[in-house]
Amino acid sequence: MFGWSASARWSRLVLVALMLAATFPIAANAEDHHMGRTITVSASGTATAMPDSARIETGVVSEAATARDAVSANNAAMAKLIVGLKGNGIEPKDIQTTNFNLSPRYTNPADGNPPLIDGYQAFNQVEIHVRNLDKIGEVLDKFVTIGANQVNGISFEVSNVQTLSDAARKDAVANAPPPHRAELYTAAADAKIGKVMAINEGGSNGPRRYFKSVRGAAMAE
């Protein structure tokens, strides 16, 4: 049978962070102006939101004496899993295969001879997009009851990434140093500040996908 253990905590927020930098020309005289002397000020902004969907990576490991039997057993188990997920309201477009692997299983002879192949292991992994967070518990329970023996983690997302990014931009502008600070720097350099030449956006890490680790472990009956 298979047992499950969970670690880490559910994340309640998704974060977007970015940095804006504004560049001003400064000149003490005509020669300096042509040299293109500039001063740059920067600020960062963040925005957070409650996640409204999640992605779960799950899969099935099947073992058999032959490669053909391992793949056949794995295909049957995955088909059963997908049917069960559809029964829980997960649409086909939200079930994507992300990995498939077939590898030999070895045994080490007691006489010290080279390892021998004594079977094969097939692994199939899919990513499930759960658009209703209230269904996460049902989906995880379905994994266990149907026979999935691998759950690699849960990541949380927000659908309104553009809205979050715009809020982070506004926050960065609000956090920008006051104009007099740039004026102080230019005055100390015996120069004058001009109009904004450019505003650059960089350092954005985009929306952070937070994970909850869920591990499946085989146990003796």
Assess whether 145 and 165 both reside in one domain: no
Assess whether 140 and 172 both reside in one domain: no
Q: Would residue 87 count as lying in a domain?
A: yes
Mean residue pLDDT of the chain comes to 76
Assess whether 60 and 152 both reside in one domain: yes
Assess whether 80 and 94 both reside in one domain: yes
Reported confidence tier of residue 208, pLDDT bands at 50, 70, 90? low
Assess whether 123 and 58 both reside in one domain: yes
| Enclosing H/E stretch for 114 | none
Reported confidence tier of residue 98, pLDDT bands at 50, 70, 90? very high
Q: Would residue 135 count as lying in a domain?
A: yes
Assess whether 30 and 46 both reside in one domain: yes
d(CA 56, CA 185): 51
**pLDDT of 101:** 95
Residue labelled with tokens 């097939």: 122
Q: Would residue 221 count as lying in a domain?
A: no
pLDDT greater than 60 at residue 211: no
Q: Would residue 213 count as lying in a domain?
A: no
65: domain CATH number? 3.30.70.2970
The answer to whether 146 and 10 are in contact (CB under 8 A) is: no
Assess whether 134 and 145 both reside in one domain: yes
Q: Would residue 2 count as lying in a domain?
A: no
Question: 85, 94, 81, 84: which is closest to 55 by C-alpha?
Answer: 94
As a whole-number percent, the residues of the chain with pLDDT over 90 amount to: 26
Q: Which of 157, 186, 213 is the last residue of a domain?
A: 157
Question: 1, 61, 4: which is closest to 219 by C-alpha?
Answer: 1
- Indicate the number of domains in the chain: 2
Assess whether 82 and 105 both reside in one domain: yes
Assess whether 94 and 20 both reside in one domain: no
Q: How far is CA 127 from the centre of its chain?
A: 12
Assess whether 185 and 169 both reside in one domain: yes
Provide the domain limits for residue 166: 11-50+161-202
Instruction: List C-alpha distances in Å: 108 to 102, 111, 113.
Output: 20, 9, 7
Among the listed ranges 94-98, 106-110, 124-128, 197-201, which one has the minimum average pLDDT value?
Answer: 197-201
d(CA 200, CA 183): 20
d(CA 193, CA 185): 9
Q: Which residue has the higher pLDDT, 190 or 61?
A: 61
> For 33-47, what is the mean pLDDT?
70
Reported confidence tier of residue 112, pLDDT bands at 50, 70, 90? confident
Question: 42, 43, 22: which is closest to 194 by C-alpha?
Answer: 22
pLDDT greater than 90 at residue 141: no
